[in-house]
């Protein structure tokens, strides 16, 4: 009787543990990303967060002749809210914003719409020429316009006298605010135009084709299609203009040298805080002024943004 050979059954070996190359690679990528972002955070904390915290600390103290710095609580803020010079500078910049910003943004929007139609000849050259003033530093621009405004040797005054109109006084206390509006408008029309033009270029062309099929002309397309589509970009330029208006410094500080009777030390809030800190040596009070100015800008920007959002909701509900 023959015996069949025994069959040996091999048990499958245990599966090797899964490799963790994916998790280790992801961890290395996360570390690399944090390392790339780290320099920004270091600069951000060192140049913005630390100075803000230190300024807030200074604003809570008061420097006295006897006893040195003493804790004052909110006394500097109460003083600022009762300071007629500070309140007048806020009102002056409010008037500046109400008049200058609509003119500047209106010109920027008009140029952006004109260039977007593609019918303007040499549109690339026009964009460069309009944007070029923004590339000029504010100090250089103010000095240049200060020379143009000059009543003695300024070319505008010379031409006006030659024609027989007399000598226009652009640097008088009555006209200085308008002259400064002209400088800021010249500087920032191109900047805002580029923002709006870039937003216009991102609008799908199908919207224009549909509007043209419905019989809409260029003006109707601009009013009903283009402007509503770039409303977020327009809102962004408005917020930037709010911040820039209440932080004006280079223009009044330089014009003060040629028009000291028109530009006071408290002409703008930023210029007032600078003079308090570095001329009057009132660092604590200047810090409180700066904090109140920042809070005011944040509140105004929030109100503008909130009103825009509410308007969009009403339009959506109406449609």
Contacts of 260 (CB under 8 A, 6+ apart): none
Which burial class, exposed, middle or buried, applies to 37 when counting CB atoms under 10 A from its CB (0-12, 13-18, 19+)?
Answer: exposed
How confident is the model at residue 309, as a pLDDT? Answer: 85
> pLDDT (tens digit, 9 = 90+) per residue, 146-190?
999 988 888 998 998 889 888 888 999 999 999 999 999 999 999
Nearest to 242 by CA among 289, 286, 191, 296: 296
Torsion over CA: 171, 172, 173, 174 (sign): negative
At residue 90's C-alpha, the angle toward residues 89 and 96, to 5°, is 90
> pLDDT (tens digit, 9 = 90+) per residue, 34-43?
899 999 999 9
> pLDDT (tens digit, 9 = 90+) per residue, 237-278?
999 999 999 999 999 999 998 888 899 999 999 999 999 999
At residue 97's C-alpha, the angle toward residues 275 and 123, to 5°, is 115
Torsion over CA: 258, 164, 181, 85 (sign): positive
What domains does the chain contain, in order, with CATH numbers? Answer: 27-71 (no CATH), 80-318 (1.10.3720.10)
State the pTM of this model.
Answer: 0.83
> pLDDT (tens digit, 9 = 90+) per residue, 104-140?
999 999 999 988 886 656 677 888 889 999 999 999 9
Contacts of 111 (CB under 8 A, 6+ apart): 126, 130, 189, 193, 197
| Residue 100 pLDDT exceeds 90 | yes
Token readout for 122 is 């040499």
Nearest to 248 by CA among 51, 93, 139, 143: 93
Residue 16 gets which letter from DSSP?
A: P
Residue 207: other Cβ atoms inside 10 A: 14
Task: Give Cα separations from 258 to 139, 170, 180, 186 (angstroms).
Answer: 14, 11, 13, 20
List helix spans (H) across the chain.
Answer: 21-44, 50-58, 75-81, 84-116, 123-135, 138-149, 155-163, 176-201, 205-213, 218-221, 227-229, 231-246, 250-258, 269-278, 283-318
Q: 7: pLDDT confidence band, cut at 50, 70 and 90? A: very low
Contact 150, 157 (CB under 8 A): yes
Which burial class, exposed, middle or buried, applies to 171 when counting CB atoms under 10 A from its CB (0-12, 13-18, 19+)?
Answer: buried
């Amino acid at each position: 009787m023959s015996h069949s050979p025994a069959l040996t059954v091999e048990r499958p070996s245990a599966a090797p543990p899964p490799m963790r190359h994916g998790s280790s690679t992801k961890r290395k990528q996360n570390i690399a990303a944090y390392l790339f972002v780290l320099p920004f955070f270091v600069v951000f904390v060192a140049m913005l967060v630390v100075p803000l915290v230190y300024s807030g600390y200074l604003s809570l103290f008061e420097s006295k002749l006897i006893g040195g710095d003493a804790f004052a609580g909110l006394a500097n803020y109460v003083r600022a809210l009762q300071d007629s010079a500070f309140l007048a500078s806020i009102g002056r910049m409010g008037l500046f914003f109400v008049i200058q910003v609509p003119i500047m943004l209106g010109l920027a929007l008009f140029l952006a719409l004109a260039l977007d139609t593609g019918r303007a000849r040499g549109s690339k050259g026009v964009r460069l020429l309009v944007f070029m003033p923004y590339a000029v530093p504010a100090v250089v621009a103010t000095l240049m316009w200060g020379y143009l405004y000059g009543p003695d040797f300024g070319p505008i005054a010379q031409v006006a006298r030659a024609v027989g109109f007399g000598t226009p006084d652009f640097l008088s206390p009555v006209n200085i605010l308008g002259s400064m509006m002209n400088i800021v408008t010249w500087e920032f029309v191109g900047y805002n135009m580029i923002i709006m033009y870039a937003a216009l270029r991102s609008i799908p062309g199908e919207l224009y084709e549909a509007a043209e099929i419905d019989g809409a002309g260029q003006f109707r397309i601009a009013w009903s299609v283009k402007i509503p589509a770039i409303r977020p970009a327009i809102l962004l330029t408005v917020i930037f203009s709010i911040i820039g208006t209440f932080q004006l410094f280079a223009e009044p500080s330089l014009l003060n040298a040629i028009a000291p009777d028109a530009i006071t030390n408290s002409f703008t809030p930023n210029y007032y805080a600078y003079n308090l800190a570095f001329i009057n040596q009132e660092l604590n009070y200047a810090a409180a002024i700066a904090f109140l100015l920042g809070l005011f800008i944040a509140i105004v920007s929030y109100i503008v943004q909130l009103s825009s959002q509410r308007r969009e909701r009403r339009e959506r509900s109406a449609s």
